[in-house]
Amino acid sequence: MSQRSDVCIVGAGPAGAAAAVQLCRAGRTVVVLKPVPSGRARPGEHLAPDAHTALTALGVSADRLAGVAEPCPGRMIRWSSPEVEEASYLHAEGHAMNVDRVHFDRLLVEHAEAAGAQLILGGRLIAAAHDGGGWRLTVREDGSTGPGPRPRPGPMQLRCAVVLDATGRRAAFARSRGARTRPRDRLVAVVASTTAFRSADRRLVVEAAPDGWWYAIPQADERLVVGWVTEPTTLRAGSGGPGAAYAAGLSRTELVRELVASTAGLGSEPPQVMVAGSGLCEPISGPGWLAIGDAAAHTDPLWGRGVPHAIELGMRAAEAAALPPAHRPAGLAAYESVVRQRWLDSERARALWYRQAGQRFGTPFWHHAVAGDT
Ligand SMILES: Cc1cc2nc3c(=O)[nH]c(=O)nc-3n(C[C@H](O)[C@H](O)[C@H](O)COP(=O)(O)OP(=O)(O)OC[C@H]3O[C@@H](n4cnc5c(N)ncnc54)[C@H](O)[C@@H]3O)c2cc1C
């Protein structure tokens, strides 16, 4: 079976969904490939207040976020000194939000479908060839988890002019075209969640510790997502694996340890280990393709703006991709320059923050993190 569309988006996270909406608004036909989820569900995250601007531009109204995001009124940070700094999110754009990423991502995908994008659930790209007529993509449907039609038995052929790589940090399509992600560091995040977090205080907590830094994000369903950003060697140092290293690291915190102690505790499931460093894809685009969201550039979670940036820059990329072929190179160049500038800004901000904590602890983790040598 063969199908034709203007654009194919590989990956259906916030960047892919946002780009799909914007392309549909520009009158382009869009196919989005969303693979069957594998591994564990993505942990909850914290959206900075500027997420409201990105979501409003995308057409996602605040009432649609009910049950998916809970308001986060502020944050408590213990960073450059043992003193706790408290900040309120009294912001013109509204407060921050703590989101369940599984529900949040589903909401955005449904929004893209409502805008006119065709979603291929379980769609996995198995081959791509580019010629004068655009892309010839071979897609296999691995089985849908949704209520839609049953997957087609054989591979399908897709013809399109442009492919957007929205596969997150993997940058799977860009890498298949020869691009490489230049990692700045090899930081990892070890993330677990507790149940029965019933505190009325719904603020984000960030705490620097000798061997990394921690965050705790209250979720609407009484879970508390607790993440530790550290370097791989710290996890390998003991004999008990990441779970034992996580428990030992947690015991060296104060704010986060107290929060965890106020809950039913960490479950028996081992914590998730995720790649968490920052990196830039080189090149960001090539003939007939461009990378968007984390596939183009990803930053340390400390920056805390991955999702709003994925939405905003996904929409910008879509505007460039929707241009007539003669104008597209200029649009792509402008898009790439914004991606690079944002990434450099986030790296500068991060370096400043890391230097502050580094002066406080002077431990190998902070020495490596400041030098970008984790
Ligand atoms: C530990 C950690 C904590 C974070 N905390 C925050 C936070 O609190 N706030 C915040 O704003 N940001 C946070 N971020 C960053 C944020 O998660 C990302 O910036 C954001 O998810 C990027 O969106 P995206 O759509 O580009 O990629 P993703 O959200 O990664 O989506 C990529 C999609 O592509 C799919 N995919 C992958 N490979 C393929 C393939 N081969 N074919 C088809 N589909 C594919 C994946 O299944 C996924 O659905 C955090 C990141 C980490 C690592």
| Ligand 1 centre distance from Cα of residue 40 (Å) | 13
Domain membership flag for residue 170: yes
pLDDT of residue 281: 97
For the chain, give the percent of residues with pLDDT over 90. Answer: 80
Tell me, yes or no, whether 172 lies in a domain.
Answer: yes
Determine the 3-state secondary structure of 356 from DSSP.
helix
Mean pLDDT taken over the chain: 92
Asked whether residue 374 is domain-assigned, the answer is no
Whether pLDDT at 240 is above 90: no
The predicted pLDDT at position 50 comes to 87
What is the DSSP code string of 169-189?
GG-HHHHHTT-EEEES---EE
The answer to whether position 286 is within a domain reads: yes
pLDDT-derived band of residue 311, with 50, 70 and 90 as boundaries? very high
Q: In the prediction, which pLDDT does 374 show? A: 66
Handedness of CA 249, 255, 256, 259 (dihedral sign): positive
Q: Give the residue numbers spanning the domain of 130.
A: 2-51+64-70+100-184+277-349
Confidence of residue 145 (pLDDT cuts 50, 70, 90): very low
Q: Tell me what the mean pLDDT of segment 122-127 comes to.
A: 93
Q: Please write the tens of the pLDDT for every residue from 154-194.
A: 789 999 999 999 999 999 999 999 999 988 889 999 999 99
Residue whose CA is closest, atom 2 of ligand 1? 301
Question: In a mutational test of the pocket of ligand 1, which residue from 307, 311, 343 has the highest number of ligand atoms less than 8 Å from its CB?
Answer: 307
Cβ 44 under 6 angstroms from ligand 1: no
179 in any annotated domain: yes
Confidence of residue 290 (pLDDT cuts 50, 70, 90): very high
Structure tokens at 229: 């950003």
Q: Which atom of ligand 1 is nearest to the CA of 14?
A: 25
Mean pLDDT of 121-125: 91
Q: Is 102 in the pocket of ligand 1 (CB under 6 A)?
A: no
What CATH number has the domain bearing residue 35? Answer: 3.50.50.60
Instruction: Report yes or no on 341 lying in a domain.
Output: yes
- Per-residue model confidence (pLDDT) at position 269: 86
This prediction has a pTM of: 0.95
295-324 per-residue burial string, b: 16 or more CB within 10 A, e: under 16: bbbbbbbbbbbbbbbbbbbbbbbbbbbbee
Q: Which two tokens stand for residue 315?
A: 């929409």
Segment among 57-71, 74-88, 199-213, 232-246 with least mean pLDDT: 232-246
Is there an atom of ligand 1 within 6 Å of 35 CB? yes
The residues pairing with 291 across neighbouring beta strands, listed in sequence order, are 165
- At 92, is the pLDDT very low, low, confident or very high (cuts 50, 70, 90)? low
Q: Assign residue 190 a region: left if phi > 0, alpha if psi is -120 to 50, beta otherwise?
A: beta
Is residue 180, in this structure, part of any structural domain at all? yes
Domain count, the chain: 1
Give percent of the chain above pLDDT 70.
95
**Does 110 fall in a domain?**
yes
CA of 298 to the centre of ligand 1 (A): 9
